[in-house]
Structure 1
């Protein structure tokens, strides 16, 4: 879809006005939040897609590579990757299939659990993860379009929403050393 420039009115504010005019006053703020977050996601994903296009990566493929690159040995069980990425197992399987096909990841039997599969980052996958991360840092993450203060506040607000939805729990305090 071609971008036509800025609209003369904020369509989300107009939608909220319409919600209020139709008597949906209790739902209007929530509708505004939901549609604002979804539109922000579209904007950010478009920026991410532009940054990753030269590498032939989707964000899902990039996330898998980066997750594996963060591990000490470049490997982790498939079940751990599914849990950390918080997406449906079928989506992770499809992502891994493409990364294996392209030589960026391998599947190996788990040495201690015959039912489990280890995902292992190849040297080519590690190199691609590093180059794609540099591009994302430069083109997207360093300048997300908000001030540092706004960024911190927004992340905090969204973290509360995610926590209340059961997305994560606060870490348990570490016990005192003996």
Structure 2
């Protein structure tokens, strides 16, 4: 939630002060990192949700549509969607069912693996994700609330954290710096 008036004190700085005062100085920095990142995620997600609401899309539904739209044929195996979005298969299956219900994708049997499924973007899904992307670019992504140097530094820091957590093996080849 975004408040109309800023708080007189940074609650995360106060939480860190309290952590130290209660004898948890060794964990205070980590607590501040975790809660800061989680608060930033809340702020960004609120902006994304507000932007996607007119399109009746959650960010999860948008991500599936956008990933399919990026593929050459608008079709990917369900397992590839799971791997690329780094979300549990059950979550993607549930999201895909809603997208199928809304006529934005179709689920088809894989031509070479009877156990697998293909997700394919419909024309309606492609049109919707293009409109939603234009809105997200204009209302969120073009100005995430950081200047370009801070944005690049934040992305690099989070990439190191993700790599250390096993998110990916090696970021090379990397895209051009942001």
Over residues 109-149 of structure 1, what are the superposed CA-to-partner deviations in whole Å (9 max), with x where a residue is unaligned? 11111111000000000001100000000000000000100
Residues of 1 paired with 2:79 and 2:2: CA distance? 39
Partner of 1:62: 62
Secondary structure in 2 matching 1:26: helix
Report the RMSD for the aligned CA atoms in angstroms: 1.3
Q: Deviations over 1:34-61 (max 9, x none)?
A: 0000000000000000000000000000
Q: Once the 2 structures are TM-superposed, how far is the Cα of residue 3 of structure 1 from its aligned partner? A: 3.1
Structure-to-structure mapping, 1:119-138, within 5 angstroms: 119-138=119-138
1:176 corresponding residue in structure 2: none
Counterpart of 2:18 in structure 1 is 18
TM-score by length of 2: 0.94
The equivalent residue for 1:84 is: 84
Secondary structure of the corresponding residue to residue 76 of structure 2? strand
Matches of 1:97 and 1:107, distance apart in 2: 8
Q: Which runs of 5 or more residues in structure 1 are unaligned?
A: 174-178
Q: Tell me the residue number matched to 1:163.
A: 163
Question: In the TM superposition, what are the counterparts of 1:138-149 in structure 2 within 5 Å?
Answer: 138-149=138-149
CA distance 1:171–1:155, shift in 2 (3 Å): closer
Shift of 1:4: 4.5
Aligned-partner Cα distance in 1 for 2:169–2:90: 25
Which whole-Å CA distance do the structure 1 matches of 2:160 and 2:9 have between them? 30
Describe the shift of the 1:117–1:144 C-alpha distance in structure 2 as closer, same or farther (beyond 3 A). same
Asked if 1 retains the 8 angstrom alpha-carbon contact of 2:103 and 2:125, the reply is: yes
Which digits, 9 at most, give the CA deviation of each residue in 1:55-107, with x for residues without a partner? Answer: 00000000000000000000000011011111111111110010000000001
- 3-state DSSP class of the match of 2:150? helix
Q: Which runs of 5+ in 2 are unaligned?
A: 174-178
Regions of 4+ moved over 6 Å: none
Q: Which moved more, 1:2-11 or 1:100-109?
A: 2-11
8 Å CA contact retained: 2:51, 2:135:
yes
* Count of equivalent residues: 173
